[in-house]
Amino acid sequence: MSALLRWILYPLALLAGLAAIGVAVVAIVLVLTYPNLPSLEALTDYRPKIPLRVYTADGHLIGEFGEERRNIVRIQDVPPVMKQAILAAEDERFYQHGGIDTLGVLRAAIMNLTSGGRKQGASTITQQVARNFFLSSEKTYTRKLYEALLSFKIEHHLSKDQILELYINQIYLGQRAYGFSAAAQIYFGKQLRDITAAEAAMLAGLPKAPSAFNPVVNPKRAKIRQQYVLRRMHEMGALDDKQYDAALKQALVVKRETNEYPVHAEYVAEMARQIAADRYPEDVYARGLRVYTTITKADQEAAYASLRRGVFDYDRRHGYRGAEAFVDMKEVSSDQDETLDELLADIGGTEDLSPAIVLEAQPKLVKAYRKGGDLVTLSGDGLKFATRMLDDKAPPAKRIRRGAVIRVQKDDKGNWQIVQMPEVEAAFVAIDPQTGSIRALVGGFDFNRNKFNHVTQAWRQPGSSFKPFIYSASLEKGYTPASIIPDEPIVYPASVTGSQAWEPKNYDGKYEGAMTLRTALAKSKNMVSIRILEAIGTHYAQDYTTRFGFDPDKHPAYLTMALGAGSVTPWQMVSAYAVFANGGYRIQPYAVREIRDERNEVLAQAQPTPAGNEELRAIDPRNAWLMDSLLRDVTLYGTATRATKTLKRRDLAGKTGTTNEHVDAWFCGYQRTLTGCAWIGFDQPKNLGNNETGGAAALPIWIGYMQKALHDVPESIPEPPDGLVAMEVLRPTAGAAVEYFYKENVPVAPPAPQPGDAATNAVD
C-alpha cells in the first residue's frame, strides 16, 4: 500500500471509528435515558389550573380569580390568522420537522457565527411544550438533551394539532395570562375568534419575552416585535400585500384601564368570590368553578354610570382642589420621553379618570402627557373647572404648572377637560322586591381605589329615610294618613333626657302648625315624626322595625330614632323598602344564582322564597298599601318630586334622607318591580355641604339608574287590599280628596281640615 493511500485511508478509518463510537454513545444514552423520560400523561390528560370565574346572569364575565388566568380553547376554534402568526413568530417549519428543526438549528448557528450580535435560538414549538410541562429553563447540556428527547417522544405520541393546541393554551404571555385566548381578552378585550392580523401578530410576539414585548408596559418595543411578526407572515404567504399593509396601519387599542371586563361589577365579583371560597375552600382558584350572579349587564352598567355621574357632579359643585402631585422633570428630554410613563407608573387611573403630567401650563392652554403615550391639549371649556389653579396667585403646592399631575377626561363632545379624583364615596344597590335577587350593586366610586363595599359594610345613619318605618308602626297603633299632628317646636329638658336638654328642629327651621300624617311625611317634618314616636312608644317602634330586618341594638329606643339616628347599611335599607314595594313581605337579598363546576354541572343553586308566601309576611297588606300611597306622595309633592318630573311616571315611591350636619345623604325608593337605594358621604364622616341633601346628592343617582332600568316597564299602581275603607276628606288647598282607613279605624266624622295642611315641595 502506497504511502499516499495510507495517508488517505487512515484518517478516514479514524473518522469512521469516531463516528461509530459517537453513534454507539448516542444509542447507549437513548437506551438508558429514553425509558426514564417522564410520562406524557400531563399532556394526554391535560388539566391546567383554571381560575374561578364570575359572570352576570346574562353570561358576561365580571371577574377572574386565580394565579393563572387561562381560558381553554380547542385547536379547531383557533382562527387561522392566530395559528399563522404563531408559526411565523416561533416555528415556521412546525408541520414539517419531527420535533427538532435541524435546518433551523443550522441557520441559527450560521447567524450566530457570522452576525457577532445577539444570539439566535432555534427552539421549536414542540421543544417549548416539553420545557413548559416538564423541564426548567436552566441552560445546561443535560436539560437540552432531555428537551430534545422529550420533543421526539411528544411528536411520536401526539399529532401536530394536539401539540399546537397544548402550546396555545399553556404558554405564558404576561399580565398573568396563560394561553392566547386569555391574552386576547386581557390585552384587547376580545374573544380569540375576533382578533385581527395586527392583534394576532402582537400576541404571537409575546412568548419570546412576555415582559419586554408587553404592549401595556413597553408599547414601543411591542410594536417593533409586532412589525417583525407581520413581516414574517407576509414572507410566508399568510398575508398578501394588501393585508400586510392594512395590518401595519391598524391602530391597536390595547386595554390599559384597571377594569379588564366588559361590565363594571368588581364589588359583585368579590362578593361572589367570597361565597365560592367559603363553600369550596379546596382548589377554589384552580378547578374551573363558574359563579353566575343575579345582576344583568344592562342594569349594572346603568347603576355604575349613574353613580359615577352623581359623584362627579357633586365633586364639581365643590370646586377644584388643585394638582394631585408633582414629579421631577429634570430627566425628561422631550414630550414623548419614556421617562414620563415611568413617572406615571404608580399612579392609578380608570378609563374616565386618566392621570397626566403637565408639560406646559398657561392661563388659557395646558398641554399634558397622558398615561400610555397620548399628548393632550386642553383649552376653553376644558379648563373651566381648574381656572383658579392656573393663576399665578394660586397656592404653589396646588398650582397647575410643568410637572403637575392632573386628571383628564373626555366630555360629551369628545374634548378633553381637567377633572379630579373625587374624595367623596357613594353606593347604590337595586333588587327585585318579589324575589330578592340583586339587579345591580356598586359598592363605591372605584373598587381599585377602595375595596370597602359600602353597600354591605358601611354602617351609616339613615336620617329621614328611616321615617317610613316609624310611620308604618304608627298605622298599627291606630294612626291614619289623615291623623292630625302638630308641627311645632319641642324642647326636652335634661330631667327628661337624663343627660342634657334636647331641642330638635325641622330641616329648614320652619314650622307649619297642625298637619296630616300624609303631609308630614311628604314634607319630612321632624317634629311630627318625633311626636308620633313618642306617642306609640320607642320600645314598640324598636321592636316593630325588626320586621323589616333592622337590628334593634343598632337603633336604641330613644326619640332620636324618629330622625334616623341609628345605624343601617344600604343592603338593609333596600330590603326594608322592598317590603313596601311587594305588599308587605320580607325577602332576603341574594347576589349569587348558582355555582357550576368545570363540567358545567350545577353544584349549588339559590332557592329564594318569593314574595306572596305568607310565611314571609312582615306587615299587614293594608299597612304596606297605605305606606306605598304615602311614599308615592313624597315623589309627587314632597322632597323627591324630581323623580316624578324626570321619569314622567306616577308609580314611583320613596324617601329622601339627610343626617345631622349633612354627613350622609340618602334616597331609597321603588317601583313595584324594582327597589333601589342610593347613599353618598365621606368614609371619614364630615359635612357634605349645607345644600347637599338626599334630594340633591343621592336622588340623582337613583333617577339615573331608574331611567334605564324602567325604560320599557309599564306604569303600575296597586289596587287597595281588602280591609281598607275609602272616605272623602276635605283639604283646604286641594278640595275634597279620598283617604283610606283600616276598617276598624274609620273615623266617626271626616277629619277637619287644618291650616297648613297642604303638601308642598321640601328639601330633605
Enzyme catalytic residues:
90, 464
Contacts of 238 (CB under 8 A, 6+ apart): 81, 84, 85, 88
Residue 328, classified by CB atoms within 10 Å of its CB into exposed (0-12), middle (13-18) or buried (19+), is exposed
**Whole-angstrom distance, CA of residue 347 vs CA of residue 405:** 9
> Is 381 exposed, middle or buried (CB count within 10 Å of its CB: 0-12, 13-18, 19+)?
exposed
Which DSSP string do the residues of 582-615 spell out, in sequence order?
TTSB----B-EEEEE-TTS-EEEE-----TT-GG
CB 523 within 8 A of CB 462: no
Instruction: Compute the distance between CA of residue 473 and CA of residue 562 in angstroms, rounded to an integer.
Output: 11
- Backbone φ and ψ for 335, nearest 5 degrees, come out as -70, -10
Phi-psi region of 526 (alpha: psi -120 to 50; beta: other; left: phi over 0): alpha
Do residues 670 and 647 make contact, with C-beta atoms less than 8 angstroms apart?
no
Give the integer Cα–Cα distance in Å for 216 and 254.
Answer: 7
The H or E element that residue 33 is part of is helix 3-33
Measured between alpha carbons, how far is 687 from 593 in angstroms, rounded to an integer? 39
The answer to whether 688 and 682 are in contact (CB under 8 A) is yes
- 492 - beta bridge partners? 502
Looking at residue 500, its amino acid is Q
Single-letter code of the amino acid located at 398: K
The beta strand positions in 162-275, using DSSP E, are: 177-178
CA separation for the pair 380, 712 (Å, rounded): 39
CA distance 67 to 62: 17
Beta strands in 545-693 (DSSP E): 592-596, 602-605, 653-658, 664-671, 674-681
| Amino acid at residue number 556 | P
Q: Copy the grid coordinates of residue 715.
A: 306604569
Tell me if 297 sits within 8 A of 262, measured CB to CB: yes
**How far is CA 424 from each of CA 526, 556, 704, rounded to the nearest angstrom?**
27, 28, 18
Determine the distance from the C-alpha atom of residue 680 to the mean position of all C-alpha atoms in its chain, rounded to a whole number: 18
Q: How far apart are CA 187 and CA 203, in angstroms?
A: 9
- Gyration radius (Cα) of the chain, Å: 35
- Beta pairing, strands 724-731 & 735-742: antiparallel
DSSP three-state, residue 323: coil
Residue 235's SS3 state is: helix
Query: Do residues 517 and 504 make contact, with C-beta atoms less than 8 angstroms apart?
Result: no
Residue 289 region by backbone torsions, left for phi larger than 0, else alpha for psi between -120 and 50, else beta: beta
Per DSSP bridges, beta strands 416-419 and 404-410 are: antiparallel
**3 state SS of 657:** strand
**CB contact at 8 A, 687 and 662:** yes
Query: Is residue 401 within 8 Å of residue 369, measured between CB atoms?
Result: no
- If one counts every other C-beta atom within 10 angstroms of the C-beta of residue 164, the result is 22
CA separation for the pair 673, 434 (Å, rounded) = 7
Amino acid letter at 348? G
Residue that is written with C-alpha cell 415582559 in the block: 211
β-bridge mates for residue 487, sequence order: 513
